[in-house]
């Protein structure tokens, strides 16, 4: 490992790592924003926080990639090189705090009671520590050339600085573990089909991957101090670039992990045009229904027998007939000019998802849990309470009756 940390070519490594991280976060962030704007209810606070996260990380990427060109080196670095490095690392720390705050904001909208208090506490602690290490970054480190760009005249021993970062790492890992656990806690209070429940919780918990990356970063930072004990003052600039690469990888994980749950729902949907159409929920042919192997259960056949391209007419007697039937034609001709006829197109309300659920489970159009989860793009089958008949039947019969969308 010593040979790895002292390898030459750290300038090329800096360009490669920063380019990859910038590309990944940009692709995933703009995919999320596109999905939110075109398929869901538009942007919310968590999206704006993620945009700020991406902006700070992108600024850090550019500064870190340019630092070697402007003279960064652990032993013989120039003032400009260290200014670039300090600025880049500061951007990464700020981006990390914003990324965690964005995910916590998402969970805040889904949670209640004590969970909200815990989330607020986590965000406050994380932001406080990220602010502290950002300031510490600009302190003069004994035994390095960083004094040319530091804000303090008195140098801080590297061991002291290392312990400060270890403390920050402990807080960061605990925050990552907490944020990865809370989706599992929140989802236990929401009805979802079993298989989807675990999938949703797992995708939302991917932020926990930032914890092991943080531990690896701290471990490598500790190894750099062992280098100086073994070999004296050596050039471990390659190791420094590696550490900063892991730092921005933590930020990238939070951006990617907050995009995947939306993509999961989006990929399980049909075409984007249909998903934006008001009549999407009922334009499913009987042929498609047979192809899916869905057999309507007794008691819900009247609302699930959806025909293709059939115009229905609601007679005053309460009977619903097709518009091209004798009764339908007679009714339409008799009511022409009076505008009293009630034409029900293919998108008849009887086949809408909320009304189907209302008929079998008591859930209504005003179900706040369903509205929030659907608006945020996390699931279209989340409800505030478990339906009856049994959940194993409901997803196939009523919740999937419209499209099979997740």
pTM of the model: 0.69
Mean pLDDT on 36-60: 88
If DSSP states are collapsed to H, E and C, what string results for the chain? CHHHHCCCCHHHHHHHHHHHHHHHHHHHHHHHHHHHHHHCCCCCHHHHHHHHHHHHHHHHHHHHHHCHHHCCCCCCCCHHHHHHHHHHHHHHHHHHHHHHHHHHHHHHHHCCCHHHHHHHHHHHHHHHHHHHHHHHHCCCECCCHHHHCCCCCCCECHHHHHHHHHHHHHHHHHHHHHHHHHHHHHHCCCECCHHHHHHHHHHHHHHHHHHHHHHHHHHHHHHHHHHHHHHCCCCCHHHHHHHHHHHHHHHHHHHHHCCHHHHHHHHCCCCHHHHHCCCHHHCCCHHHHHHCCCCCCCCCHHHHCCCCCCCEEECCCCCEEECCCHHHHHHHHHCCCCCCCEEECCCCHHHCHHHHHHHHHCCCCCCHHHHHHHHCCCCCCCECCCCCCCCCCHHHHHHCCCCCCC
Say which range, 12-21, 155-164, 275-284, has the weakest mean pLDDT: 275-284
Predicted confidence (pLDDT) at residue 296 exceeds the cutoff of 70: no
- Which residues, other chains included, contact 125 with Cβ-Cβ below 8 Å and sequence gap of 6+? 171, 175
For residue 373, pLDDT over 90 is answered with no
Q: How confident is the model at residue 336 (pLDDT cuts 50, 70, 90)?
A: low
* Per-residue pLDDT, 157: 79
Q: What is the CATH number of domain 2-267?
A: 1.20.1070
Residue range 10-23: mean pLDDT, rounded: 91
Question: How many of the other CB atoms lie within 10 Å of CB of 369?
Answer: 16
Q: How far is the first Cα of the chain from the last one, in angstroms, to the nearest whole number?
A: 47
Query: Higher-confidence residue: 310 or 181?
Result: 181
What integer is the mean pLDDT of 107-114? 85
221 phi, psi to nearest 5 deg: -60, -40
| 180-209 pLDDT, tens digit each | 999 888 888 877 777 777 888 888 899 999
Does the pLDDT of residue 2 top 90, yes or no? no
Beta-carbon count within 10 A of 206 CB: 18
**Closest listed residue to residue 29, CA positions, set 84, 93, 98, 131:** 98
Q: Which two tokens stand for residue 393?
A: 């039947």
pLDDT (average), residues 104-111:
88
Would you list the domain boundaries of the chain? 2-267, 272-310+346-399
Q: What is the pLDDT of residue 147?
A: 64
Query: pLDDT per residue over 234-274, tens digit each?
Result: 788 888 899 989 999 999 999 998 888 888 777 776 434 44
Higher pLDDT, 18 or 42: 18
In this predicted structure, what is the pLDDT of residue 314? 64
Please determine, for residue 54, whether its predicted confidence score (pLDDT) is greater than 80: yes
**Is 295's pLDDT higher than 90?**
no
> Cβ atoms within 10 A of the Cβ of 320, count?
15
What does the pLDDT average to over 122-129?
92
Residue range 62-78: average pLDDT?
85
Q: Are strands 320-322 and 342-344 parallel, antiparallel or unpaired?
A: unpaired
Whole-number pLDDT of residue 198 = 82
Question: Of 311 and 171, which is predicted with more confidence?
Answer: 171
């Amino acid at each position: 490992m010593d040979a790895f940390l002292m390898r030459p070519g750290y300038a090329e490594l800096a360009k490669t790592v920063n380019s990859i991280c910038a590309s990944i976060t940009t692709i995933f962030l703009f995919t999320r924003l596109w999905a939110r704007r075109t398929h869901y209810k538009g942007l919310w606070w968590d999206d704006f926080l993620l945009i700020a996260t991406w902006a700070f990380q992108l600024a850090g990427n550019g500064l870190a990639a340019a630092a070697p060109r402007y003279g960064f080196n652990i032993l013989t670095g120039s003032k400009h090189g260290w200014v670039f490095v300090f600025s880049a690392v500061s951007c990464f720390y700020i981006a990390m705090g914003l990324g965690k705050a964005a995910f916590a904001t998402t969970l805040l909208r889904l949670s209640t009671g004590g969970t909200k208090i815990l989330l607020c506490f986590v965000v406050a602690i994380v932001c406080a520590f990220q602010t502290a290490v950002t300031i510490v970054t600009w302190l003069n480190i004994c035994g390095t050339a960083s004094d040319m760009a530091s804000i303090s005249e008195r140098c801080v021993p590297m061991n002291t600085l290392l312990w400060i970062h270890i403390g920050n790492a402990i807080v960061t890992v605990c925050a990552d573990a907490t944020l990865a656990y809370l989706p599992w806690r929140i989802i236990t209070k929401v009805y979802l089909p079993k298989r989807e429940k675990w999938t949703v919780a797992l995708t939302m918990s991917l932020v926990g991957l930032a914890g092991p990356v943080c531990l690896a970063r701290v471990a490598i930072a500790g190894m750099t101090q062992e280098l100086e004990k073994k070999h004296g003052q050596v050039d471990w600039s390659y190791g420094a670039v590696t550490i900063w690469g892991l730092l921005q990888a933590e930020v990238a994980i939070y951006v990617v992990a907050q995009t995947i749950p939306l993509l999961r729902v989006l990929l399980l949907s049909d075409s984007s045009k249909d998903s934006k159409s008001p009549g999407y929920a009922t334009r499913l042919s009987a042929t498609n229904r047979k192809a899916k192997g869905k057999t309507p259960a007794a008691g819900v056949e009247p609302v699930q027998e959806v025909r293709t391209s059939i115009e229905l007419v609601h007679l005053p007697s309460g009977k619903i007939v097709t518009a091209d039937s004798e009764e339908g034609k007679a009714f339409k001709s008799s009511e022409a000019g009076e505008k009293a006829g009630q034409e029900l197109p293919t998108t008849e309300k009887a086949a809408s998802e909320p009304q189907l659920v209302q008929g079998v489970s008591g859930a209504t159009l005003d179900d706040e849990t369903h509205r929030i989860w659907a608006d945020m793009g996390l699931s279209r089958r989340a409800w505030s309470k478990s339906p009856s008949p049994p959940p194993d039947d409901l997803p196939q019969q009523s919740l999937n009756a419209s499209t099979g969308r997740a």
